[in-house]
Structure 1
Amino acid sequence: MTTIVAPCDAEMIQTACRRAEGGTLSIDASDSCDAVAMIHLFEGDAFLLVADGGPAGESAESEDEPSAVLEVLDYAPLPLRERVRSLIWLTGTLHEVPDDLQRELAVEIAGDHPDERLLDVGHGYSLIRMAVQTAVIASPVGAGAVSVDDLASAEPDMFWEYENDWLAHLESDHADLIHQLSQRIPAGLRNGRVRPLRIDRFGISFRVETESSDEDVRLPFSRPVSRLSELSSALHALALHPELDHHV
């Protein structure tokens, strides 16, 4: 049986958009950009929270269905030397969400994607819809295109809400565990500073900061974790089994 060592690109995009602090929308029709406060992916659409009166909202009201590109930066939770873990680009057409559906839609989104910024709907912010046509993700290991169907069927990693706290807790309170895990990375990188970079149901990734470069190393769990309570056990098991492979 083949062990899955990392989330697929579609899952990475879903997770990054759930965690994102916002994004930048470039609108072809107006040749302008606008800030996006929140992104929620649902099936083949991206629902975007934008400030009222900006170019994004005005473009969405157009009957011409203007095309746009949304750029999302996936930042590492910890203050690394280079915090960007991946870049995501979604292209599609912009559409208005009727005023009488705005609050109802915000409540529905909050059920899956709790975010206090949704409270701003109707108070200076509105939701618009992007019908996604293409999706691309780029990271230090390469770039990949994701079909709309694959993106629509993917789910964010089940631990996306807890990742920030878990990685901060690891670095601040479990230097011993990080040291044990660092023995699993290539010997040539062990003299660098090993920082927690990402954790998900398939494993944990580290950023190794040396004087001249940054290298990312992934340590997969022996099997995917299905519950939050299993994460700690999976990390300790990984630290105690030196025969497990690493993946860059």
Structure 2
Amino acid sequence: MSNSHTHAVVTPCDAELISTACRRAAGGTLSVDGSAVCDDVAMVHLFEGDAFLLVADAAPALVVAQGTGGSSAMLEVIDTAPLQLREPVRGLIWLSGELHDVPPELQRELALEIAGEHPNERLLDIGHGWSMVRLAVESAVIASSAGASAVDVETLACAEPDLFWAFEGDWLGHLEADHADLVHQLSRRIPPAQRIGRVRPLRLDRFGITLRVEAADTDRDVRLPFSRPVTRVCDLSSALHSLALDHL
């Protein structure tokens, strides 16, 4: 009989974290050819090996993309917690590659396709002061409190955002505002020596929930995995309650 064991996944992989953060992000900053000037990006949509971005028509990056094309560029995306935490940044993401323009006649068509899975009101601004550009991703790095790591571009191209990316902010806000008792029960799963401070919801995904302990002089993040990944929004509540009842 084999002695091998199957280990359950308890947290999203880095590629999925990047995909989710880009889907949730209100935007990012784009620098071209090492320029000290960074352009604001209004939307980041990852599709296979490309990142489709919205930039203002007056942005230097758009001029570069419409020129020779293929210029090296780096996009920075900040993964910000939905709640107003003392330290709201959950992670930083850097995507580097070649910047290309998207022909004007294709931008509206692409916007409609993107909106089907990534609804973003800024897509309506295309042709009204904003344009779409494409970053052909060649490298990806994600950094968090756990450290920094590079993500294989092919792996990133295949990654999907978490199933609940669009609902995470509402769920975490609801937990903190209306279910302090549940957060307290969840916090009891944290070893006593590590839960000295204010415990707040930090991240929620199909694999579990991450809590932030805001102590007097430091922050500590603790991951609480579900017994199995959740596949439907309607099952999130029962998964959280089951986790809360399963005390250490």
TM-score tier (shorter):
over 0.9
Counterpart Cα distance in 2 of 1:89 and 1:155: 18
Match status 1:124 vs 2:122: no
Match of 1:171 in 2: 176
Question: Are residues 114 and 211 of structure 1, via their aligned partners in 2, closer, same or farther at CA, if it must alter by over 3 Å?
Answer: same
State the 1:212 CA deviation: 0.7
Aligned partner of 2:30 in structure 1 is: 25
Does the 8 Å CA contact 2:90/2:145 hold for their aligned counterparts? Answer: yes
| Amino acid in the other structure paired with 2:93 | I
Gaps of 5+ in 1: 244-248
Number of equivalences: 243
Gaps of 5+ in 2: 1-5
Change (3 A) 1:29 1:137: closer
CA shift, 1:31, in A, is 4.7
- Aligned with 2:162: secondary structure? coil
3-state SS of the aligned residue for 1:82?
coil
Q: Secondary structure at the match of 1:37?
A: strand
Map of 1:3-152 to 2, 5 A cutoff? 3-28=8-33, 30-152=35-157
Letter in 2 for 1:167: L
Decide whether aligned partners of structure 1 residues 18 and 64 sit closer, same or farther in structure 2, where only a CA change above 3 A counts.
closer
Letter of the structure 2 residue corresponding to residue 226 of structure 1: T
2:198 alignment counterpart: 193
Question: What letter is aligned with 2:130?
Answer: Y
Contact 1:26 1:68 in 2 (8 A): yes
Q: Match of 1:78, SS?
A: coil
Structure 2 length normalisation: TM-score? 0.96
> Matches of 1:19 and 1:186 in 2, distance apart?
31
In structure 2, C-alpha distance between the alignment counterparts of 1:207 and 1:31, rounded to whole Å: 34
Q: Is the 8 A contact 2:69 2:99 kept in 1?
A: no
Secondary structure of 2:148's match?
Answer: strand
How many Å separate the matches in 2 of 1:44 and 1:79? 33
Percent identity (aligned): 67
The answer to whether the Cα contact below 8 Å between 1:30 and 1:55 also exists between their aligned partners in 2 is no
Contact map agreement 2:69 2:100 (CA 8 A) in 1: no
Q: CA deviation at 1:161?
A: 0.2
Q: Which amino acid aligns with 1:185?
A: I
Encode CA deviations 1:158-179: one digit per residue, 9 max, x unaligned.
1000000000000000011011
Instruction: Render the CA deviation track for 1:25-82: whole Å, top value 9, x for unaligned.
Output: 1111655311101100000000000000211111111225110110000000000000
AA paired with 2:97?
G
Q: Which string of whole-angstrom CA distances, capped at 9 and with x for unpartnered residues, describes residues 103-122 of structure 1?
A: 11111110110011111011
In 1, Cα distance between equivalents of 2:221 and 2:195: 12
Q: Which residue of 2 aligns with 1:215?
A: 220
- Structure 1 runs, 4 residues or longer, greater than 2 Å off: 29-32
Asked if structure 1 preserves the Cα contact closer than 8 Å seen for 2:69 and 2:101, the reply is no
Moved more, 111-120 or 20-29: 20-29
Which stretch of the first structure deviates more once superposed, 65-74 or 27-36?
27-36
Amino acid at match of 1:81: R
Give the aligned residue type for 2:59: G
